[in-house]
Amino acid sequence: MMNNFPAWHNGTYCNVSDLSLSIMDLGVIHSDATYDVLAVRNGRALQLNQHINRLENSCRGWRLPMLYTNEELKTVVAELYHHSELESAFVWLAVTRGIPDSGNPRDLTQCATEVMAYVKPYYGFNTANTARLCMSTVLRTPDASINQRYKNWAWPDLTQAQWQAQDRGYDSAVLLDHAGYLTEGPGFNVVLVINNTLHIPRHNVLGGITVHLIQQLCDAHNIAYKYCDIDSNMINAATDMFIASTAGNITPVIEFESRKFKQSPVQGVLKKLIQQAWTLDGYSTLLRTI
């Protein structure tokens, strides 16, 4: 059934079944691509401008030509959502390098960029929307090699971490960087609560849109937070942990390795504020079709 959902490719509306990428596309063979995923609920897209801006910024970082304006992409998001007839949905957008005319994979300037999007039903982090996490022995690829601020398809470290989690019976895993500091997990940021203050990893992580929303809400409601390097001592000192993602918004971590966590008051407040943000123009956008 997924193949029947609306899609869009290089300016033309179609179905998911019509989307395809050549094996010669450098996005496929070299991960020379970027993407973004946003959530829509009851006709409102959460942090729409931030998602579109991040996609544009990722294209700029990877030197991928973006052939469409932000307003054109917002129209695509609205059209896909409304034609899907879904109440809650994800809209996925991607840009790939394309195929070099010469066939030479180093001929980066002679590629026709591919831009595509599709809509699919919304899902949470998991059915319970709670997380049991472990610490991966796989280290996060350093920013000096692949700048994680730019969203990308290069997931080998995250995928191997996820395999470790599944092999050990956990939902997912978090990774350390080469200096031993906490980074993120496969598709999510992680936040610790220490002394009623949110502690958020500041290096070697994607600039998560949900984390950005949490920062906005903290600023508006005087909730303490800091971006910092988080070592093992700080992890041990945490009284609460949660993950932030487009899929789950805030997902409580109920177990990390052998430690059990209970939801802190500050996490509960933030979850309520995010639910309110879905209905407020300052945080979400009502999608209108042309």
pLDDT block averages, 10 residues each, the chain of length 290 = 88 96 96 97 96 97 96 97 96 97 92 97 89 98 95 96 98 97 97 97 94 96 97 95 91 95 95 96 86
What pLDDT score was predicted for residue 125?
87
Q: What is the pLDDT of residue 195?
A: 95
Q: Residue 197 belongs to what H/E stretch?
A: strand 197-201
Where are any strands of DSSP class E within 106-177? 114-121, 131-135, 172-174
Q: Can you give the pLDDT at residue 239?
A: 96
CB 242, CB 208: distance < 8 Å:
no
CA distance 262 to 48: 31
Q: Which uninterrupted H or E stretch holds 195?
A: none
What integer pLDDT is reported at residue 1 of this predicted model?
67
Q: Is 188 helix (H, G, I), strand (E, B) or coil?
A: strand
Q: Distance between CA 131 and CA 126 in Å, rounded?
A: 8
pTM: 0.94
What does the alpha-carbon distance between residue 266 and residue 95 come to, in Å, rounded to a whole number? Answer: 37
pLDDT at residue 140 in the model: 97
| pLDDT at site 290 | 53
CA–CA dist 106, 108 (Å, integer) = 6
pLDDT value of position 258: 87
